[in-house]
A = this chain, B = another copy of it.
Amino acid sequence: MEDLEIFVNVVEADGFTAAAALMNMTVTATSRRVKALEERLGVRLLNRTTRRISLTEAGQIYFDQVRRILSELRDAEEQLSQLSGSARGTLRVTAPMTFGVRRLAPWIARFADAHPQLQVQLHLDDQTIDIVGQGLDMALRIGYPRDSSLIARPILPVARYVCAAPAYLQKWGAPQTPLDLLRHSCLHYDNLSVREEWTLNGPDGPEAVEVQGRLCSNNGEVLCEAAVQGLGIVLLPDFMVEQALAENRLQRILEGFEPPPFTLYALYPSRHFVPTKIRLLLDFLILAAGQGAIGRHFSGNPP
Contacts and interface: CB of A to CB of B under 8 A. Distances in A.
A210 interface: no
Interface string A45-76: 00000000000011001100110010011011
Contacts of A109: none
Contact of A61 (B3, B80, B86, B117): B80
A contact residues, range: 20 to 34
A294 to B, nearest CB: 35
A41 interface: yes
Contacts of A72: 65, 69, 72
A21 B83 CA distance: 33
A115 to B, nearest CB: 12
B43 A81 contact: yes
A276 to B, nearest CB: 10
A42 interface: yes
A247 interface: no
Nearest to A63: B76
Contacts of A127: none
A79 B43 CA distance: 11
Contacts of A77: 41, 62
Given A42-B88, A69-B73, 4 more contacts: A43-B84, A58-B80, A62-B79, A69-B69
A130 interface: no
With a 10 A CB-CB cut-off, give which of A61, A66, A80 has the most chain B CB atoms: A80
A233 to B, nearest CB: 53
A91 B162 CA distance: 77
B83 A57 contact: yes
Nearest to A71: B69
A267 B86 CA distance: 47
Nearest to A42: B88
Contact of A76 (B1, B57, B62, B80): B62
